[in-house]
Structure 1
Amino acid sequence: MSYNVYFGVILGILGLYITKTFLSRKGLHSPLPPGPRPKPIIGNISDLPSPGTQDWIHWLKHKDLYGPISSITVIGQTIVILNDASVALELLSKRSAIYSSRPNLVFASEMVGWEHILAMQPYSARFRAYRKALQPYLGSESAISQFNSLQEAETHRFLSRVLGDQTKLSEHIQTEAGAIILKIAYGYTVEAHTRDPLVHISKLALDHFSTAGTPGAWLVDMIPACTSLFKTAGYPIPGSENELIAKWTAASLYTGGADTNVCAVECFFLAMTLFPDIQRKAQEEIDQLLGSDQLPKHPVASMGIPHASSEDDTWEGYSIPKGSLLMPNIWAMTHDPAIYHDPMTFKPERFLGIDGRGPEMDPHDLVFGFGCHICPARFLADTTVYLSAAQSLAVFNIRPIDGQKGKNVRPEFKPGVVSHPTPWKFQIEPRSASHEALIEQEVPKINNIVSGFSLQPITLTQKEYSDYIKTHGVFYHGLQEEIRKKVFPARTGAERNAAFDKGYTAYPKDQVPPTFEDLNLYHGA
């Protein structure tokens, strides 16, 4: 690396510091939220969480030292930490017009390649297009009802896998979560009883995303000029804006849902290992409701991803400059003793009201995000986790390994955007021979349900079909070229693409527009 490049990077860092520290605060009449005193130029770099630490615990210390809202500055970049639910809801939800942008996490987006994923999008036309594509299918409980049979079937396949080999519990949970979303987004059916290659590859990608997207973990996120030290010549990615939206909306559905669902179900099994009394009580309630001859049917990020302010703002006398990063400490909010009585004790009944107290705050208001960035697949996620927990309790006993008690299992959690529990020792056994038979006897039927699942075919006119797929491309993009060939068989690839993107203006008048069924968009179903 030449001396000139290094010198340029140093000048860039100094320039960035001067610009952000002085010019960005011009006109501010109030102090920043309290925080540790910054050092010249580098600011509060030494106050960032060290690699491998649980960042939600690190930032929670700020609440005792500085109050519900605090701030640090790193090379001129203001970072605001929110440790209080009411502050987060006020700023990120009620003032979402100001706080709906996203910071440019350079490492995860530009350097690793996640810049087009929904979670990384600032509030923009593309962001709205992503949400619009997902809304008709995931935006309400009635919309996701079309996936009920698929979710129930994949949950039953999960029970069968656990019955066959409980030592691979985490892998089985990953397969279940991946199977549901891959089927919905791509029409792909995972392997029933063997390790599925696509689920495995996707798991690796999600692990990398969780590491790459951790706020404050990468210096290049604070000093974008550092990218010039590593950047090489790239190449343009072909495809229209509609194709990009379709591709990345589908990918966003998987990245946003698969890993978080896995974490939630893992935490459920960990909780049942730790608290056998609560497990027995839940099993009794399930048995009373359903009996023991059937299964229940249809009815997790600690820090989340930072928001960014799109204009200057003030809160309770503190300035929040334009371009600030706002990091909601969701873990701190869901363990706040001011909201939850005895928050470190596992009490599911707290949400129903106990000991003369009313129901405590529903964590759904916090864990799915805030404002415009609230999780678009939250209803689907809720149902998937519910079915996994309820059906597992209906047929399995979950306990520590022989000779141990739940209190001897010490739960630990990994750092990252999505924080999974570390491996722990447990036993999973059928509650009885009849429960074991219940799982096994339904497997052939369940496999048929999964393989036969598809969305309802729709017959559309030429313009309706064009408009539909441009809006809801999440469910077709993998077969776009097949669509083009079917519609424009006599044209070259370039001509097909051009006509396709114009809305089928050159569609042959003597042909009937293809339906989803005609084109076999769910050919694997």
Structure 2
Amino acid sequence: MLTLTYVAWLNPTCLVGIGVYLLMRVFKKKNPAPYPPGPPGLPLVGNVLDIPQVKPWLTFTKWGKMYGEISHVEVLGQHTIVLNSVKTAMDMLDNKSMVYSDRPVFPMAGELVGWKDSLLLLSYGGRFRRYRKNLHRVIGSRAALDIYRPIVEIETHRFLKRVLTTPDQLQERIRHTAGAVILRISYGYEVKESSDPFINIAKRANNQFLQSIAPGAFMVNYLPFLAKVPEWLPGAGFKRLAREWHEIVQEMVSAPYNFAIDEIAAGDAPMSCISAMLEGQTPTAEEHDIARWSAVSLYGGGSDTTVSAIYSLFLAMTLFPDVQKKAQAEIDAVVGPDRLPSLADRASLPYIEALAKEVLRWNVVTPIGLPHRVTEDDVHDGYYIPKGSIIIPNLWLVPPLVPFMLHNPETYSNPSQFNPERFLANDGKKPETEPRTICFGFGRRICPGIANSQKRLLLAESSIWISAAMSLAVFDISKVVENGVEITPEVDPSSFTISHPKPFKCSIRARSAKAIALVQQDANY
């Protein structure tokens, strides 16, 4: 991996890049307003040493404390603007969405690794709108979601069985179940019970995607012309790595799609994204390509984000037993001990609804989201935002730093605590701000499948809700005791685009003999 270290600067490729950048600086035009404040950079190369490669939201939060709601850095001519307040993010990304809805060009991830046609990296335009129309049609309304509700419930029930048998493999069981749900909905594919090839390929491809867009990881993301250099050139090892990763992306895009097409041709296809998108058509090559990439956008994103959220749910229940007891009391009173909760119970379980919201707020799945890109020069609040700037909304905090957005103490009381009651109206006190108005993204890059009038991501929310309701109905989740010592898990999120809790141990036990019987019932209902 070619990183921004002093060693990298010795490569001839990097030296050429610096020369090109210096020439650009000579002909730089005068700005109509000052840039937003930010850390002072080095002469010529700017903030090359300030770009964080590990947990960037920590650095961004420090900048927010020092410089305010908008901060700015520049690396080799690439401007990056960090937004540290909800108001600023809404004003820029929502209210000015016409010019703030593009994506940055990531040469490593896009051109070289092969993600350029994915919804996440696709430039805003006609093809982007066709993807979103496809996805909204199949998962973006309650009527559409009703079609897939049995899949979510059946696979979550199967998750309970797996956890009951192997509670020490919680994270892998969550990943398996998230993959099972999204593959059935996307392609009509039912996963194998263990080591499913499509789940495995999604895990590898998603991990490599996150590496390929990490800040400061690859010089080619700052100097795009490096994508054209030959592999044998010193410092061009990133191209060999990209070639290997490209093969994995192609397999992820093509293999499940070909499975679905074969099922449709044989007349055996169940309802799925692919069957709905191609129903009654004789697709052209372009239409096949649109359908293939629309589905893989759902498959890739859904197979990882839901894993993070549900793993965070189990972490919260381990750390906050009083919340777990209140949730179980509500389930016991409303649902009773003779059946598992279903999505039909959702309106009758307001505490579980609030708990699912708190999962989205407490351990943010996307702590800084995927960056936006400005398509025109703009002046916002007196600051110059040049065309091509990368815009990063910072959703995260880590105490004792000043928290932002979903952890702002001016918006959320005691924000580090997991407290579902903050979203319930109690004793005349209004609920705190809905997290889903922020956590699913902004403007025209908001997550696909969103119900726009409510800003609700129906499929993701349903998966989190039913996982919470079913799991708490039958399991007690607690800290592990080893050699007489209670082990308290550490709250320490990982990556910057999709953040997973640090692996932790917890005890998961059936609440009763009746709970075991419920779990062991046939899940095919």
Query: Equivalent residue for 2:294?
Result: 249
> Who is 1:400 aligned against?
479
* Residues 1:42 and 2:49 aligned together: no
Residues 16-27 of structure 1 correspond to what in structure 2 (within 5 A)? Answer: 16-19=21-24, 21=25, 26=29
Q: Determine the C-alpha separation between the residues in 1 that align with 2:327 and 2:198.
A: 35
The runs of 5 or more residues in structure 2 that have no matched partner are 1-10, 232-238, 255-283, 347-364, 397-403, 450-456
Does residue 309 (structure 1) correspond to residue 374 (structure 2)? The answer is yes
Normalised by the length of structure 2, the TM-score is 0.78
Deviation string for 1:191-249 (max 9, x for gaps)?
Answer: 2x4332221221121111122222443222111122233557999x9993322211111
State the partner residue of 2:157.
156
Partner of 1:419: 499
Distance 1:282 1:218 in 2: 46
Preserved contact between residue 350 and residue 360 of structure 1 (Cα < 8 Å): yes
Quote the sequence identity (%).
42
Alignment CA distance shift 1:22-1:128 (3 Å): farther
Instruction: Give 1:315 shift.
Output: 1.2
Matches within 5 A, 1:483-522: none
2:388 counterpart of 1:385: no
Q: What is the distance in 2 between the residues matched to 1:8 and 1:275? A: 52
Q: Which one-letter code corresponds to 1:261 in the other structure? A: T
**Superposition deviation, residue 436 in structure 1:** 0.4
Tell me, what secondary structure is at the counterpart of 2:292?
helix
Moved more, 55-64 or 224-233: 224-233
Q: 1:376 to 1:44 in 2, by over 3 A?
A: same
**What is aligned with 1:200?**
200
CA contact (8 A) 1:13 1:223 kept: no
Q: CA deviation at 1:394?
A: 0.6
C-alpha contact 2:51 2:215 (8 A) present in aligned 1: no
Q: Quote the Cα distance in structure 2 between the aligned partners of 1:224 and 1:155.
A: 44
Q: Secondary structure at the match of 1:71?
A: strand
Matched residues in 2 for 1:17 and 1:137: separation? Answer: 49
TM-score normalized by the length of structure 1: 0.78
**Counterpart in the other structure of 1:487:** none
Asked whether the equivalents of residues 18 and 76 of structure 1 are also in contact (C-alpha less than 8 Å), the reply is no
Q: Tell me whether 274-283 or 103-112 shows the greater mean CA deviation.
A: 103-112
Deviates more, 1:65-74 or 1:135-144: 135-144
1:414-470 deviation per Cα after TM superposition (whole angstroms, max 9, x unaligned): 124211111111110110000000111233xx2xx5xxxxxxxxxxxxxxxxxxxxx
Per the alignment, do residues 225 and 9 of structure 1 end up closer, same or farther by CA in structure 2, a change over 3 Å counting?
farther
Tell me how far apart the structure 2 counterparts of residues 271 and 17 of structure 1 sit (CA, whole Å): 50
State the alpha-carbon separation in 1 of the partners of residues 315 and 46 from structure 2. 40
Rate the CA distance shift 1:37–1:246 in 2: closer, same or farther, 3 A.
same
Larger-gyration structure (1/2): 1
Q: Deviations over 1:96-147 (max 9, x none)?
A: 0010000001111122221111000111111111111112111222221110
C-alpha separation in 2, matches of 1:263 and 1:247: 25
User: What CA distance in whole angstroms lies between the structure 2 residues aligned with 1:244 and 1:277?
Assistant: 50
Deviation at 1:396, TM superposition (A): 0.4
- Distance in 1, matches of 2:373 and 2:175, equals 31
Q: Secondary structure at the match of 1:375?
A: coil
* SS of structure 2 residue aligned to 1:305: coil
Q: 1:64 and 1:9 mapped to 2: Cα distance?
A: 33
User: What is the root-mean-square deviation of aligned Cα atoms in Å?
Assistant: 2.4
Q: Does 1:433 align with 2:495?
A: no
Q: Which runs of 5+ in 1 are unaligned?
A: 1-5, 450-525
Aligned equivalents of 2:13, 2:314: Cα separation in 1: 53
- Of residues 11, 16, 20, the one that matches 1:15 is 20
**Structure 2 Cα separation of the partners of residues 78 and 87 of structure 1:** 18
**SS of equivalent to 1:438:** helix
* Residue in 2 that maps onto 1:500: none
Matched, 1:360 2:432: yes
Instruction: Give the match for residue 331 of structure 2.
Output: 286
The amino acid that maps onto 2:307 is V
Does residue 116 in structure 1 map to residue 117 in structure 2? yes
What does residue 269 of structure 1 align with? Answer: 314
* CA contact 1:17–1:76 (8 Å) conserved in 2: no
Q: CA deviation at 1:9?
A: 6.1
1:418-497 aligned within 5 A = 418-443=498-523, 446=524
Q: Any conservation in 1 of the 2:13–2:226 contact (CA below 8 Å)?
A: no
- Once the two structures are TM-superposed, the CA of residue 265 in structure 1 deviates from its matched residue by 0.1
For the residue of structure 2 that corresponds to 1:119, the secondary structure is: coil
Corresponding position of 2:94: 93
In structure 2, the partner of 1:468 is: none
Residue 258 of structure 1 is matched in structure 2 by 303
Q: Larger deviation: 122-131 or 354-363?
A: 354-363
1:296 counterpart letter in structure 2: P
1:153 to 1:323, Cα distance in 2 relative to 1, 3 A: same
Counterpart in 1 of 2:406?
Answer: 334
Confirm or deny: 8 A CA contact 2:103 2:371 kept in the other structure: yes
Q: Does the Cα contact within 8 Å between 1:272 and 1:398 map onto a contact in 2?
A: yes
What code does the residue aligned with 1:415 have? S
Q: Which residue of 1 aligns with 2:442?
A: 370
Structure-2 residue corresponding to 1:68: 69
Give the deviation of 1:164 after TM superposition: 1.1
Aligned residues, how many?
435
Tell me, yes or no, if the aligned pair for 2:47 and 2:75 is still in contact at 8 Å: yes
- Aligned to 1:81, the other structure's residue is in SS state strand
Per-residue displacement from partner, 1:444-499 (whole Å, max 9, x unpaired)? xx2xx5xxxxxxxxxxxxxxxxxxxxxxxxxxxxxxxxxxxxxxxxxxxxxxxxxx
Letter in 1 for 2:370: I
